[in-house]
Amino acid sequence: MNFIKSRTLVASTAALLALGACNPSKDVKPDQSSAGPVVATVNGMAINQRTVDMIAKQAGHSGRPDTPESRAAIIEQLALQMVIAEEAVKKGLDKTPEVADQLDAIKKSVLANAYVQDFIKNNPVSDDALKAEYDRIKASVGGTEYKARHILVEKESEAKDVIARLKKDPKAFTKLAMDRSKDPGSKAQGGELGWFDPKRMVPEFGAAVSKLEKGKFTETPVKTQFGYHVILLEDSRAIEPPPLEQVKPQLTQQLQQQNWKKQMEALKAAAKIEMVGAPAPAPSAPPSAAPK
């Protein structure tokens, strides 16, 4: 799992170039680099296959396809940036305080990311831990979910009129919802809300639904912050959690995050961190007086 991702292709290549700009490796022969086969050289400096693979993979996380054309574009961009980076080193820009600080920050970010990846790799989530977390969540999931329709109106008198009409013809609920409901999300579907957990609804609505019998509608308007509702209960069933295999990826990610958070807290507790404060920002200049 990638906790720290490069956001753009440009950022990826720029970071890699920044790390290598201070110590360029010249006169590297093809296929003899420790970073894999050399796919191109720029003034004797190598562009390695492993670097291209890494950037292509990072681009894939953003939905960019990994194709020969995209890899050629990566190599071309790397080559151009290496030319520019070499010129920057010749001018001594890598020694300026601002650039040196940026290079140091990038290095620390890459190292921190490497540590995260190493921690995840060497501390995999066990099947027993997954099963225990699933059982814990499963025990907390319960109750009943409902399938219902509703008609939302602005005034209580309108809701009472709808109820009176339904008492004469209960089968008219769908048509009345399409004609009179103010809920844009369900109006076109005849007030259909689908299956839902009443706890996810506003309290008044959830309480009214849970008291209804199947096939019955509320004979008293249900007032909420949205207006007045007339609710028809179509069906109900016990809430069943999804099987473990279906939620395994999400649970694995959740446990990985929990494990990493504990590790971060342990590292922080063991470190000596002293907040000495940052200089206060310079006061902004007062606006100039308007001419009279």
DSSP the chain: --SS---SHHHHHHHHHHHHHSS---SPPTT--TTS-EEEEETTEEEEHHHHHHHHHHHHHTT----HHHHHHHHHHHHHHHHHHHHHHHTTGGGSHHHHHHHHHHHHHHHHHHHHHHHHHHSPPPHHHHHHHHHHHHHH--SEEEEEEEEEESSHHHHHHHHHHHHH-GGGHHHHHHHH---TTTGGGTTEEEEE-GGGS-HHHHHHHHHPPTT-B-SS-EEETTEEEEEEEEEEEE--PPPHHHHHHHHHHHHHHHHHHHHHHHHHHHS-------PPPPPPPPPPPPP-
pLDDT of residue 10: 42
Q: Tell me the average pLDDT of the chain.
A: 86
pTM above the 0.85 mark?
no
User: Is the pLDDT at 205 greater than 90, yes or no?
Assistant: yes
Residue 206 backbone zone (phi > 0: left; psi -120 to 50: alpha; other: beta): alpha
pLDDT of residue 31: 43
Confidence of residue 270 (pLDDT cuts 50, 70, 90): very high
pLDDT of residue 276: 84
* Mean per-residue pLDDT, 117-124: 96
Catalogue all structural domains in the chain, each as residue range(s) with its CATH number: 9-122 (no CATH), 139-238 (3.10.50.40)
Strand order in the sheet with 144-153: 192-196, 144-153, 227-238, 222-224
